[in-house]
Amino acid sequence: MFKGILIEKDESGYRSAVRDIDEAALPAGNVTVRVSHSTLNYKDGLAITGRGPVVRRFPMVPGIDLAGVVEESTHPDYQPGDAVVLNGWGVGEVHWGGLAQKARLDGDWLIPLPARFSPRQAMAIGTAGYTAMLCVLALERHGVKPADGEILVTGAAGGVGSVAIAVLAKLGYSVVAVTGRPQDEEYLKYLGATEVLDRAQFSAPGKPLGRERWAGAVDVVGSHVLANVCATTKYRGVVAACGLAAGMDFPATVAPFILRGVTLAGVDSVMCPRAERLLAWQRLASDLDVEKLEKISREVGLSEAIPLAASLLNGEVRGRIIVDVNQ
């Protein structure tokens, strides 16, 4: 038996609780991992609360991230004792995830734990931080350089935003943060933001084109915020879009794209190819200040993760939540 968060849905409703789970119930897979740490991401919040149709099969163990040690393996790349990390691949949605003490997975979904990080630090980064680095890589791939001008980061006090600011600032970019929580200004400037703007400036319907300001942007919000960011991006600037915290809609016009040559680069972390995952984690190891991870994150136990899920969706959680599954 092992402990984990189990989501169930039946005639009596939708519910999440910490349960004792029989190992025989673990799904098929060629690697069994003894999990030490997981995280809470926005998608995990949707799954645990049932606010979004994230979970496709029941019962489900949520948790799109995990770090741990291989217990059993028939996969050629992994042996018992290997330290591994997982992000995405539909885990916590269609396959049991990381918010439990054990997981059985397809070894192709795993990567080795980078030597620079402890399992706890890897989960302080988690899918949010790995997605942030994918956004930075997208900006770089499209030619955005520090000398080109300011980079805007929306949802700045959340997990993706926090890591994006820290990485971009270390790389020499001038970063402007957008948040709905003005009380987090000191935190955002500690991470490396040079200026903090109120989300209200971006969240109402805007004009097709605004005054050019941003050389690039990382957006986790979507909806009117993303539309207004695109409308104020400089000629041939690049916007990396990776989230929908404000909605899936995109109430924009083609004006920024056909009149200013703006690029809207979509960033998907779930099915991202292995080579790019490895590059993202390699770059996190070199370009993220490990000391800032302590400021960005806090640790909770399994039972605390359930009430925190709603707080996360309500925008009340700053930075990253690490879950010690053995607490």
The pairing of strands 13-21 and 2-10 is antiparallel
pLDDT for 94 equals 97
Q: How many angstroms separate the CA atoms of 184 and 245, rounded?
A: 18
pLDDT for 186 equals 97
CB contact burial 257-272 (16+ within 10 A = b; e otherwise): eeebebbbbebebeeb
Summarize pLDDT for 152-181 with one digit per residue, the tens: 999 999 999 999 999 999 999 999 999 999
Q: How many angstroms separate the CA atoms of 228 and 231, rounded?
A: 5
- In order of their start, the domains of the chain are 2-113+292-324 (3.90.180.10), 127-266 (3.40.50.720)
Rama region for 92: left / alpha / beta (φ>0; ψ in -120 to 50; rest): left
pTM to 2 decimals? 0.94
Q: Which of 200, 131, 136, 198 is nearest to 172 (CA)?
A: 136
pLDDT for 6 equals 98
- Calculate the dihedral angle through the C-alpha atoms of 227, 311, 5, 65, rounding to the nearest 10 degrees: 40
* H/E segment holding residue 24: none
Q: Which residues contact 12 (CB under 8 A, 6 or more apart)?
A: none
pLDDT for 152 equals 99
Q: Which of 83, 101, 86 is nearest to 34 (CA)?
A: 101
DSSP H helical ranges for the chain: 42-49, 119-141, 159-170, 185-191, 200-203, 223-231, 255-259, 274-287, 290-296, 302-313
79 contacts 70 by C-beta, under 8 angstroms: yes
Q: Give Dmax (Cα) for the chain.
A: 60
Q: How many angstroms separate the CA atoms of 35 and 187, rounded?
A: 30
DSSP H helical ranges for 171-266: 185-191, 200-203, 223-231, 255-259
Q: Which residues contact 97 (CB under 8 A, 6 or more apart)?
A: 38, 60, 61, 62, 63, 64, 65, 66, 91, 103
Q: Which of 134, 125, 143 is nearest to 321 (CA)?
A: 125
pLDDT for 21 equals 98
Summarize pLDDT for 186-224 with one digit per residue, the tens: 999 999 999 999 999 999 999 999 999 999 999 999 999
Q: Is 8 exposed, middle or buried (0-12, 13-18, 19+ CB in 10 A)?
A: middle
Radius of gyration, CA atoms only, the chain: 20
Indicate the residue type of 30.
N
| DSSP state letters, 41-77 | -HHHHHHHHTSSTT--SSSB---SEEEEEEEEE-STT
pLDDT for 105 equals 98
Q: How many Cα atoms are found within 13 Å in the side-chain-facing hemisphere of 233?
A: 32
Report, as ranges of residue numbers, the positions in the chain whose pLDDT lies below 50.
Answer: none
pLDDT for 266 equals 98
